[in-house]
Each structure stands twice: as structure tokens, then as C-alpha cells.
């Protein structure tokens, strides 16, 4: 994900969301649902979206209202999901729905196909960045979804969603690292070539100190993210705390590094002739999605105070 983001954070993030949706089916789905979806998803013949956020529930994801009522061997699903990457284009929607009581224990995970009757999409959102991928509202109007498409048991959806987000947060952090590394490399090359006051701007100590800080902060964020990834892989008890810390640091640092890279380019950094402005726009949303960075602080502090 980090390497792909060196070229385009938006495309890398789009693939990371597909990766998360596929992982959730693989990790928690029955053999039937895995055989039904994973061969085409692994080959990316079909691309998956992750549907949790709703128009009225963002950070408070457990308040979601999209409802699924069991009717024989099908769930009847009604509701809407907002800001869905791949909305309207992707074929598979791993969706969190309410099958029971209010709160996290009443949430279940279903896999819904684009072509199921009753599935529709809003207009494509006009975004600051992430222009390489579609984003739209997904609407469900009494969609009949086979009960066999359930991932995990009834009431397990929120736990599955949160476990998926541990990996999703690492991937979004990695996208920030890759994008920021590209902009740092661009800044080094540009400051060595650009001359002012008779010398390359890389020869000024102010430039050198800025580049040194960018490198130091980016490397620190990278290694925290790698430690967090190892903990998630090992299913360590503190994996969620480290994933949240790494996501918060990597996305904030990525945006900060790109902002300074743009500044070092001066007016040219603001032009679309240079790649910096695209990275600046693309990385801004990373501190919002997969849980805002304010929510990351809540996760970390709650885990600390639970000790």
C-alpha cells in the first residue's frame, strides 16, 4: 500500500478498502460465502466496498440505522450508507446492518451485490481529493439478501467491523507514508535545482532543517506503523491501541510533510504542473476516514486508562 501510494494515494487507498472487505469475508465468512465471493475478489474481477458510515452516523458508528429483517431464508434490508468508496461502480458491498437492539450488539454483517433489486446509488460526490476513485451514497430499498450472505453470526457485525478497521487504519497510514515519501523526494530534488539569491535553495540552512525534520518525522511514523502491523498480524492484546496510534501519527505526519514539501516548492507547488498539490489534497482525508484522528485519541486513551 505504501509503495502504490508513492504514485497515487487515492488509488492505493481504494485498493486497501477492497482488501479490507475481502479480508472480512475470508476471516469471518462461512465456506459458502467465501466460495461465492472470494475467487473473483482476490482476482479483482469484482471489487468490494465497505459500508459502515451513514448520513447520520459517522464517528458514532454503533448508532447506524440501516435495518435488516429476517424473512424466511432472506434478510430484507432498508437504509442508506454514505461516503462509500466504490459506490455505484463496485460489485460487492460488505454492509453493516441493524438486526437487533440499539447499540453495537444489534449489528450484523451482510454481503450485498450491486445488482440485487432495490440497490441504488446517489450522485458521485465532488471531493477535494481522491479523484481517481468513485464515492457515492448507497441506498437499500427492501433489498432481499440471502441469509447465507451473512458474515459471522447475528450481532457480531460491529466486532467484525472494528477488527477490519485495525487493518484498514494501518493501510490508510501506509498510504499517507507513501504519498509523503514521494513529496519529500520531490522536495529534495526541487530544492537542489531551484536557485534564488545566487544559490540553490537546498544550500540555505532553513531549507536543510526543514528537510531534516520532514525525514525524521516520517521515519518515526513509519516505524510505529510497522510495529503496529506486526502486532495486528500477531493478534497482540494491544493491537487496536497501536493501530490507532500508528494511524493517527502516520496520517497527521503525512499531511504535515506534504504541506512543507508544497511550501518548499513555492508558487510552483500550488500548480497542477507539479504533483505536490494532488498529494496535498489526497492525504487530507486520511485523518478523517477509518475513524477520525480525534477518535483515534479516544481509543488510545481508553485503553491506557483501562489498565
Could you give the domains of the chain? 9-154 (2.40.110.10), 160-305 (1.20.140.10)
Between 46 and 59, name the one with better pLDDT.
46
pLDDT band for position 58 (50/70/90)? Answer: confident
Is residue 159 classed exposed, middle or buried when 0-12, 13-18 and 19+ CB atoms within 10 A define those classes?
Answer: middle
DSSP per-residue codes, 181-218: HHHHHHHHHHHHH-EETTEEGGGSHHHHHHHHHHHHHH
C-alpha distances in angstroms, 107 versus 48, 62, 98, 113, 115?
A: 20, 8, 5, 19, 23
Question: Strand 74-85 to strand 119-121: parallel, antiparallel, or no bridges (unpaired)?
Answer: unpaired
Helix (H) or strand (E) holding 135: strand 135-146
Q: Which of 2, 54, 186, 290 is catalytic?
A: 290
Contact 138, 249 (CB under 8 A): no
Question: How many other C-beta atoms lie within 10 A of the C-beta of residue 33?
Answer: 20
Gap between the Cα atoms of 49 and 110, Å rounded: 12
State the alpha helices, DSSP H only, in the chain: 2-7, 9-28, 31-42, 157-193, 205-233, 239-264, 276-284, 293-305
- Our answer to whether residue 156 is catalytic in this structure is no
- 61: pLDDT confidence band, cut at 50, 70 and 90? confident
The values of phi and psi at residue 272, to 5°, are -75, -5
The pLDDT of residue 307 is: 66
Q: Which residues, in sequence order, are bridge partners of residue 84? A: 136
Q: Reply yes or no on whether the pLDDT at 60 is more than 80.
A: yes
Mean pLDDT, residues 119-148 taken together: 97
Residues 111/33, Cβ–Cβ less than 8 Å:
yes
| Distance in angstroms (rounded) separating the CA atoms of residues 180 and 160 | 30
Grid cell digits, residue 117: 433489486
Mean pLDDT, residues 277-285 taken together: 98
**Residue 214: pLDDT above 90?**
yes
Residue 58 per-residue DSSP state: S
pLDDT digits (tens, 9 = 90+) for 228-253: 999 999 999 999 999 999 999 999 99
Q: pLDDT by residue (tens digit) across 181-190?
A: 999 999 999 9
Amino acid at each position: 500500500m505504501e509503495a502504490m501510494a508513492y504514485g497515487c494515494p487515492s488509488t492505493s487507498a481504494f485498493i486497501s478498502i477492497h482488501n479490507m472487505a475481502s479480508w472480512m469475508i475470508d476471516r469471518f465468512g462461512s465456506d459458502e460465502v467465501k466460495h461465492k465471493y472470494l475467487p473473483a475478489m482476490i482476482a479483482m474481477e469484482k471489487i468490494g466496498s465497505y459500508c459502515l458510515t451513514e448520513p447520520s452516523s459517522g464517528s458514532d458508528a454503533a448508532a447506524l440505522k440501516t435495518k435488516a429483517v429476517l424473512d424466511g431464508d432472506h434478510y430484507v434490508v432498508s437504509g442508506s450508507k454514505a461516503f462509500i468508496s466504490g459506490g455505484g461502480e463496485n460489485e460487492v458491498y460488505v454492509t453493516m446492518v441493524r438486526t437487533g437492539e440499539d447499540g453495537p450488539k444489534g449489528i450484523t454483517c451482510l454481503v450485498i451485490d450491486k445488482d440485487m433489486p432495490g440497490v441504488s446509488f446517489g450522485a458521485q460526490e465532488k471531493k477535494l481529493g481522491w479523484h481517481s476513485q468513485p464515492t457515492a451514497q448507497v441506498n437499500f430499498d427492501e433489498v432481499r439478501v440471502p441469509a447465507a450472505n451473512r458474515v459471522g453470526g447475528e450481532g457480531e457485525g460491529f466486532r467484525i467491523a472494528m477488527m477490519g478497521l485495525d487493518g484498514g487504519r494501518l493501510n490508510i497510514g501506509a498510504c499517507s507514508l507513501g504519498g509523503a515519501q514521494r513529496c519529500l523526494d520531490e522536495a529534495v530534488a526541487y530544492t537542489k535545482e531551484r536557485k534564488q539569491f545566487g544559490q540553490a535553495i537546498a544550500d540555505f540552512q532553513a531549507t536543510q532543517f526543514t528537510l531534516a525534520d520532514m525525514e525524521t518525522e516520517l521515519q518515526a511514523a513509519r516505524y510505529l506503523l510497522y510495529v503496529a502491523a506486526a502486532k495486528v498480524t500477531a493478534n497482540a492484546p494491544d493491537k487496536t491501541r497501536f493501530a490507532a496510534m500508528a494511524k493517527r501519527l502516520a496520517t497527521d505526519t503525512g499531511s504535515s510533510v506534504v504541506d512543507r514539501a508544497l511550501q518548499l516548492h513555492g508558487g510552483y507547488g500550488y500548480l497542477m504542473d507539479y504533483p505536490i498539490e494532488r498529494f496535498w489534497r489526497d492525504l487530507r482525508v486520511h485523518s478523517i476516514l477509518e475513524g477520525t484522528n480525534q477518535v483515534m485519541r479516544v481509543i488510545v486513551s481508553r485503553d491506557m486508562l483501562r489498565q
